Structure 1
Amino acid sequence: MLDFPVSASTTRAAYVAGTFDTKGRELFYLRQCLEKLGLRVVTVDLATSGKPSPASVPAREVARHHPEGERAVFGDDRGLAVSAMAIAFEHFIRTRRDLGGIISAGGSGGTTLATQAMRALPVGCPKVMVSTMASGDTRPYVGPSDICMMYSVTDVQGINRISEKVLANAAHALAGMIAHPAPQASESKPALGLTMFGVTTACVQAVTKRLADSHDCLVFHATGVGGQSMEKLADSGLLAGVIDVTTTEVADEIVGGVLSAGPGRMDVFARHALPYVGSCGALDMVNFGAWDTVPERFRSRRLYRHNPTVTLMRTTPQECRRIGEFIAGKLNAMSGPVRFLIPEGGVSAIDKPDQPFHDPEADRVLFTTIEQQFRAAGDRRLLRLPLHINDEAFADALVAAWGEVTSPVASRMGGAR
C-alpha cells in the first residue's frame, strides 16, 4: 500500500468516471485497484442510456448539472446525448471540492465524455485516461491540458490478461500522483508566459535572458496548442502575465493554416486582468506540413520550405488586414494593462531585406490596421518602433513595456477595469 499523508487519504478522493452501463466491469476494477492502495474512491456514471446506475454518483445526478437540466441529456439521439452529458460532467466536476484526481477508461465516446471535464480542471490536478484512441491523434482529447493518455492495447471490453495490467498500471499511476504531489516550488519568482517560433527565437531568448533573474520564464512554442496551453495556465491563475511575442497562430486561424489556436486566442485576457505585452511575431506566415500537403488553392502563392515537414506561406496584404482586425479586436477587449509593440523592420527572421518573406506592403497594411483600430486608453498603449523583431533593442523595448504594465500604478488601473 502506498504511504498516503493523512490529509490526502481522508479528504481527497480519486474519481472514477465513465459509462457504467457498458464499461462497468473495467471501471469497478479501477476502483478496486485504487481502494487496495488506500484511496477513497468516488464513482461517477456518465451513461446516457437511462438505465439504473451502480455508481456512487448516478448519471441523472450528473445530468442535472447541464445548464438546461437533465432533459437536455437523455434523448433518442446518441450523439447529442453524449455531447450534452460531456457538458453536464464538466459543470459537475467543477463543483467537487474533494477531487484529488480523476481516471476513466473507454472508447471514442467515453474518451470524449471524460476528457472534456478533465480539460476544465487546473493544470497539475492528476488526470488519467485509458483509451482506445490514445495511439492516434490525441489533440482533440488532451488539448492544452496535462491529461495522461494511456493506450488500452485491447478494446476496453472486459478484464483479460492484457487489460488487467494496463488498467492496474493506470490506477497505480493516478494513486502515485495523488499520494506524492509535487512539492510547492520554493521559487518565489512570478511566472511569465512567452510565445516563440523558430523565426522569433532570438527575440524571446534575449527577453528571457533579461528577465530570468526576476521571473520564472515559461516559453510556449506557438504551434496552436502552444498558445492554448499558455492561455490555459493564465485561466488557471498560474501566470502573472504574458509577453506574447509570437501571435502567428492568428494567421493560421484567419487564412487556414494547420497551427491555429482557434478563434478564442487572446480571449483569456478579457476574462482576467493580467498584464499583457504583445507583438506581431511571425504574422508574415501561414503554416502547412510537407510541401505536397499545401492545399491546391495555395500552390501558386509565395511558399518557403522551412524544413522537410514544414512549409510556410507568405501572408498577403488582404490577409494582413484581416489579421490586424482580429488582433485589434482582441486587444480592445482586454481588461488589464496592455502594451502592443510593432516592429516596423520585420516580424520574423525571414521578413527583412534579402529574405524570402520580405514584403513591406503586406507589413504596412498589418501595422496600419492594428494601429488604426486599436483603442488607446488609460494604461493601454501601442508603440511603433523602427526595429526588426529580432533586434536586441526590440527585446529591450519589450522588457521595458513589461516593467510598465507590472508597475503598481498599472496593476491598480488594470484591476479597476
Structure 2
Amino acid sequence: MQPIAYLIGTCDTKAAELSYLRERLADAGVSSCIVDVGTQGDDQGAADVHAAEVAACHPEGAAAVFVDDRGRAVAGMAEALRHWLPRRQNLGGVLGIGGSGGTALIAPALRELDIGVPKLLVSTIASGNVAPYVGPSDIAMLYSVTDVAGLNRISRRVLGNAAHALAGMLLHQVPEVANDKPAIGLSMFGVTTECVNQLSAALEADYDCLVFHATGTGGRSLEKLANSGMITGLLDVTTTEICDLFMGGVFSAGEQRLDILAQSALPYVGSCGALDMVNFAGRESVPERYRQRLLYEHNPQITLMRTTAEENARMGRWIGEKLNQSRGPVRFLLPEGGVSALDVPGQCFYDPDADAALFEALEQTVKQTSERQLIRSPFNINDPEFAAALVEHFRDIMHIETR
C-alpha cells in the first residue's frame, strides 16, 4: 500500500486551508487524505475521512465525543484520534493545522506515532512553549504567523512551506544504515559530558549509543524509547531532572522519571549525575525563596542552584523507592568524589556533606539483592576510573541478560 500524507484539522473552520495543503502536495507528487476532527458536523465537503469515523474509535464510542460542552468534545476527539491515527496502514506522514484547541486536539495523536514518522503541526502557538505538545516526540511545529483562519498572502506561504516540507520527507526517505548493533540509551548533561563521552567511546564498537540531553523532555524520550523496545539497555548516569521535579526547576521530567524500571526488565546502570543542581532560567526567574541560596550562572539563560543535604536526602529516598520497583538487573553507582564537574574541590558546588546525605538515603532505602545493587566509588563522576566502573558493570549485566 502506497504511503500517503494525512492532513488533519477541523473542516468546519479550516476546510479551505486543508484543501490548499492537498493541492500543494499534489503538485509535488504526493497523494493525501483530509481527516476531519471537527465536532460541529459540517466538513464543508472537504473531508476524505469524516469526523464520525474518527470519533467511533473513542474507547467509549462516538457518544463521548459529540457532546454539548466544547471542552469535553475537543478532549473526546483528541482521545479518539489518538486511537485512530496509529492504526492507519498507509500512513506516510502527517500534517496538522490548528489554533490552540486544534493543536491540543491533534498533538497527542502525533505523539503516539513512532519516532521518524514525519509529523508536522502548523499552529498559532508554535512560537511559545511547545513542550506540552511535542513532549518526547519528534513533532516539527511551524508558527502560522497569522491565525489559521482563511487563506491570505501570509498563510498561503506558511502552509505551502509546510506542505513542501512534508512532501520532501515523503519523497526523499532517509537511507537506512546497516547496523546490527543493539541500541543503548545514555543520559547526559553539560556537567557530565566527559563521563558520557568516555562511555560512548568504550562501548561504541559493540553498541549503537543514543545520548539524551537531561532537559526533562530528554529523560522522557529516553524512557519512551526504552519502553517501546528500541533500546536494549540503559546507562542512565545523569538523573538531574529529579532535582527540578522536587525544587521546581525548568528541566523536570515529571513524577514518571525512572518508571521504566518497573515497566521493563531492561538492564539498568544508573548514577547520581548532576543531582547537585536545580535549573532555573535567567537569575531573575529564581523564586524568591531561593534567592539567598548558592547560585551559579551557567549562561545568561540558565541559573543553577546547589542542592542541600536535606534536599539530597529526600531525592535519595525517592530514587531508592523507584529502584526497589525494578524488574531487571540494576547497578546504581555512587560517585563519592562528586556528582558533576562543579562538584569537585575548588569548584562552587563542592559539598561532600550534601553528597553524603544523598548516598546514605539511597543505602537506607534500596533493598539490595543480587540483581539490585548500590556500588560506592571514591571517584568523581567524570573521572576515567568511574567511567570504567560504569562500563564494567554495564557489560556484566548485559552479559547476564543474554546468557
TM superposition score normalised by structure 2: 0.93
Match of 2:360 among 336, 343, 368: 368
Partner of 1:140: 132
Deviation at 1:79, TM superposition (A): 2.2
Match of 1:85 among 77, 95, 102: 77
Q: Give the Cα–Cα distance (whole angstroms) in 2 for the partners of residues 375 and 29 of structure 1.
A: 60
Partner of 1:261: 253
TM superposition score normalised by structure 1: 0.90
- Bigger mean CA offset, 125-134 vs 33-42: 33-42
**Which blocks of at least 5 consecutive residues in structure 2 are unaligned?**
none
Partner of 1:4: none
Q: Give the Cα–Cα distance (whole angstroms) in 2 for the partners of residues 268 and 241 of structure 1.
A: 11
**Secondary structure of 2:255's aligned partner:** coil
Partner of 2:57: 65
Deviation at 1:52, TM superposition (A): 5.9
**Secondary structure of 1:47's aligned partner:** coil
One-letter amino acid of the structure 1 residue matched with residue 2 of structure 2: T
* CA separation of 1:176 and 1:277: change in aligned 2, threshold 3 A: same
Partner of 2:320: 328
Q: Give the Cα–Cα distance (whole angstroms) in 1 for the partners of residues 402 and 53 of structure 2.
A: 42
Query: CA offsets, 1:20-50, max 9 Å, x none?
Result: 1111111122223333444342322111224
Asked if the contact 1:122–1:236 (Cα under 8 Å) also holds between the matched residues in 2, the reply is: no
Deviation at 1:53, TM superposition (A): 7.2
The answer to whether 1:230 aligns with 2:228 is no
**Secondary structure of 1:135's aligned partner:** coil
Correspondences of 1:278-297 after superposition (within 5 Å): 278-297=270-289
Match of 2:33 among 29, 33, 42: 42
Q: Give the Cα–Cα distance (whole angstroms) in 2 for the partners of residues 119 and 75 of structure 1.
A: 25
One-letter amino acid of the structure 2 residue matched with residue 400 of structure 1: E
Query: CA offsets, 1:267-303, max 9 Å, x none?
Result: 2343233221110001111111222211001112222
State the Cα RMSD in Å.
2.0
Partner of 1:29: 20
Asked if the contact 1:288–1:312 (Cα under 8 Å) also holds between the matched residues in 2, the reply is: yes
Asked if the contact 2:65–2:73 (Cα under 8 Å) also holds between the matched residues in 1, the reply is: yes
The answer to whether 1:388 aligns with 2:380 is yes
Q: Give the Cα–Cα distance (whole angstroms) in 2 for the partners of residues 227 and 212 of structure 1.
A: 21
Correspondences of 1:84-103 after superposition (within 5 Å): 84-103=76-95
Asked if the contact 2:7–2:94 (Cα under 8 Å) also holds between the matched residues in 1, the reply is: yes
Q: Give the Cα–Cα distance (whole angstroms) in 1 for the partners of residues 390 and 339 of structure 2.
A: 14
One-letter amino acid of the structure 1 residue matched with residue 217 of structure 2: V
Deviation at 1:120, TM superposition (A): 1.4
Deviation at 1:105, TM superposition (A): 1.2
Match of 2:160 among 160, 168, 175: 168
* CA separation of 1:71 and 1:326: change in aligned 2, threshold 3 A: farther
Deviation at 1:396, TM superposition (A): 0.3
Deviation at 1:332, TM superposition (A): 2.3
* CA separation of 1:154 and 1:199: change in aligned 2, threshold 3 A: same
- Bigger mean CA offset, 78-87 vs 113-122: 78-87
% of aligned pairs identical?
56
The answer to whether 1:14 aligns with 2:27 is no
Asked if the contact 1:66–1:72 (Cα under 8 Å) also holds between the matched residues in 2, the reply is: yes
Asked if the contact 1:123–1:236 (Cα under 8 Å) also holds between the matched residues in 2, the reply is: no
Match of 1:76 among 68, 74, 99: 68
**Secondary structure of 1:56's aligned partner:** coil
Q: Give the Cα–Cα distance (whole angstroms) in 2 for the partners of residues 236 and 45 of structure 1.
A: 29
**Which blocks of at least 5 consecutive residues in structure 1 are unaligned?**
1-9, 413-417
Q: Give the Cα–Cα distance (whole angstroms) in 2 for the partners of residues 260 and 309 of structure 1.
A: 16
One-letter amino acid of the structure 2 residue matched with residue 43 of structure 1: I
One-letter amino acid of the structure 2 residue matched with residue 404 of structure 1: D
Query: CA offsets, 1:371-417, max 9 Å, x none?
Result: 2222334533221222221111100011011101211x3246xxxxx
One-letter amino acid of the structure 1 residue matched with residue 34 of structure 2: T
Match of 1:251 among 243, 246, 262: 243
Asked if the contact 1:34–1:41 (Cα under 8 Å) also holds between the matched residues in 2, the reply is: yes
Partner of 1:129: 121
- Bigger mean CA offset, 119-128 vs 181-190: 181-190
The answer to whether 1:219 aligns with 2:211 is yes
Q: Give the Cα–Cα distance (whole angstroms) in 1 for the partners of residues 60 and 318 of structure 2.
A: 32
Partner of 1:159: 151
One-letter amino acid of the structure 2 residue matched with residue 390 of structure 1: N
Deviation at 1:51, TM superposition (A): 4.0
Partner of 1:317: 309
* CA separation of 1:129 and 1:264: change in aligned 2, threshold 3 A: same
Q: Give the Cα–Cα distance (whole angstroms) in 2 for the partners of residues 265 and 53 of structure 1.
A: 44
Partner of 2:102: 110
Asked if the contact 1:379–1:410 (Cα under 8 Å) also holds between the matched residues in 2, the reply is: no
Query: CA offsets, 1:200-244, max 9 Å, x none?
Result: 122112212212222222222211122122223323433222211
Q: Give the Cα–Cα distance (whole angstroms) in 2 for the partners of residues 228 and 195 of structure 1.
A: 11
